[in-house]
Structures are given as structure tokens and as C-alpha cells.
Structure 1
Amino acid sequence: MASVSIFVGSMYGNADNLAAEVKNKLISLGHEATVFEDGTIEQLVAADNLLFITSTTGAGDLPDNIQPLFSQMQSQFPMLTNKKVGVIALGDSSYGDTFCGGGRQIDALVQELNATLPIERLDIDACEHFEPWEPAAPWLMRWAAIL
């Protein structure tokens, strides 16, 4: 089974809660999973498989706790070749063009870093899903099956 490092960007705890559920589900499927709320570039480079779960703040920005990692990824450009990566973006479609902006930024960057994204980013709209686990569960099952 696979080892998954889950990097979380959260302002009010919704992404943190989803990451905990995702971790538990991955473990129940026989995988190893670790959640990093203040992840470092060293943890990212050491990871076998990466899953980013992030909310969006402000005008499509990343939460404060994941911004340092994102900035390090931009400046140090650690190639993610041969690493399987998934991105779950949380947002609110009433914000228009900035909807899931945090996750879209991460998605674009990991593609630049040559990561393998076996399935496309999942955008979860708070206007449609009060509880993000509902749309995340089937996406996670598809992603985990590819690991």
C-alpha cells in the first residue's frame, strides 16, 4: 500500500476536518497517511504521494498556514517527478472568479513541478455542500485506487 502526505491549508478548520476524515479513510483502505498543517519543503520532498486540501481566503488566496510552503515551492522549485499528487480545493462559488483560487494555485504549481496528477482537482462548493466529505469521498476512492 501507499504512503500519503496530506498538506492542509485552513483558516476556520473546515479543511482541517476534511483532512482528518481523508486520513482515516486512507488508513482504513490500508494506506499510511500523515497530515501536515504547517508543512515544510523537506516534508514535501520526502513524501511519496502528496494530497493538498486547501480552502480559499480573501480574493482567491491561500490560507496563512500553507502560504510559506507554497512560497518555498515557488522559489526552490523542487521537482515532483514520479510523485502522485491530488488537490482538493474548498471554496464558495458566490465569490465568482476567485472560487477555489487557493486550490487552483496549488494545482497549477504542482503541474509546473512535473507532478503526476492521476485525476483532476476536486473543487468543492460550500454553496452546494455544507459538509465537504460528501463530494470528497468518491473522489478520494478513485484517487486512492490509483496509488
Structure 2
Amino acid sequence: MEKVNLVFGTVYGSAQFVAETLTSKIAELDFETNLIQSSDLTGFVPKEDELLIIVTSTTGQGDLPDDIAPWFAEMKSAAPYLPGLRYSIIGLGDSSYETFCGAAKQFDELFAELGAKPLTARLDIDACETMEPETDAVQWISTWHSAAQSLNQ
């Protein structure tokens, strides 16, 4: 059984709800899941033998939510080399803004700089197309699960 760490950045709670929903659905697939609250992110460095999923909304002009911004800054500053880490990112945004899913894009760029490899392509969920982002995220789990299983073959 592989361990999956889920981290979220949220302004109004949608990204947290998506992360909570994914945590329970992925646990049903026989993965050990760990939903990390923003208050527990200080000092958290993802382990390379575990999988990471980041769920984040975007605020302002493509900015990170306040609850996850300190961890982003910490990871950027410490710059741990993570070539064995496999990650997935889910961005929640509104395509009517130029900065659509800007926070998710920033995380994608940061983890690429740290040497980590995406397990799946980034999933950008558009508030203009869906009122329930958790529905899109749950549908995405099959893509994520196939990619995670392929690591063990």
C-alpha cells in the first residue's frame, strides 16, 4: 500500500472539500491517505517514496490562498531536491480571469524546479463550467489511479 499525502490551499473552503473528498475516495482504493491541514504544513517536506496531491484555489491576481502561501514560500526557499517525488495538482479557478488557476500553475512550476515528476497532468477545474468541483475531481481519480498503479509495474 502506498501513502498519499493531500495538501490544500483554500479561500472559501471548496479546495478543502475537494481534498477531503479525494482523501476518502483514494482510501477506498486501498491507499494510505494523509490529509495535511494548513496549520501542519510548516516543516513538511514530501517524502519521495510517497505520492503527493495538491488541491488549490486561486485568489486575487493568480495568487496563492493565504493558508498555503507560507508552505509554498518555505518549499521555494529551502529548495529540497525531490527527483523521486511523484505529484498531482488540482487547480480550482474561474476561466473568466486571465490568471485562471494561477496558484496551481505556480505549484506545478515549483515542483518541476525541485526535480519532482508529475504523476498526472494538472487538472484545472473551471468554476464557469461546474458548481461542484469535487465531482470533476472524483472523475479524475480513475486517471490518477491508473498512473499510480503503473509506478508499481
TM-score (norm 1): 0.93
Superposed CA RMSD in Å reads: 1.4
Structure with more helix by fraction: 1
CA contact (8 A) 2:45 2:75 kept: no
> Which residue of structure 2 aligns with residue 50 of structure 1?
52
Deviation digits for residues 44-75 of structure 1, max 9, x if unmatched? Answer: 33461111000000000000010011001111
> Which residue of structure 2 aligns with residue 69 of structure 1?
71
Equivalenced residue count is 146
Query: 1: CA distance between counterparts of 2:42 and 2:11?
Result: 20
Deviation digits for residues 84-140 of structure 1, max 9, x if unmatched? Answer: 100000000111x20000101001111111111122100000010100122212322
> Which residue of structure 1 aligns with residue 135 of structure 2?
134
Unaligned residue ranges in structure 1 (runs of 5+): none
* Deviation of the 1:141 alpha carbon: 1.8
Query: 2: CA distance between counterparts of 1:44 and 1:136?
Result: 24
CA contact (8 A) 2:47 2:85 kept: no
Query: 2: CA distance between counterparts of 1:42 and 1:5?
Result: 14
Residue 102 (structure 1) aligned with residue 109 (structure 2): no
CA contact (8 A) 2:46 2:85 kept: no
Q: Which stretches of structure 1, 4 residues or more, deviate above 3 A after TM superposition?
A: none
TM-score (norm 2): 0.90
Query: 1: CA distance between counterparts of 2:102 and 2:73?
Result: 15
CA contact (8 A) 1:41 1:73 kept: no
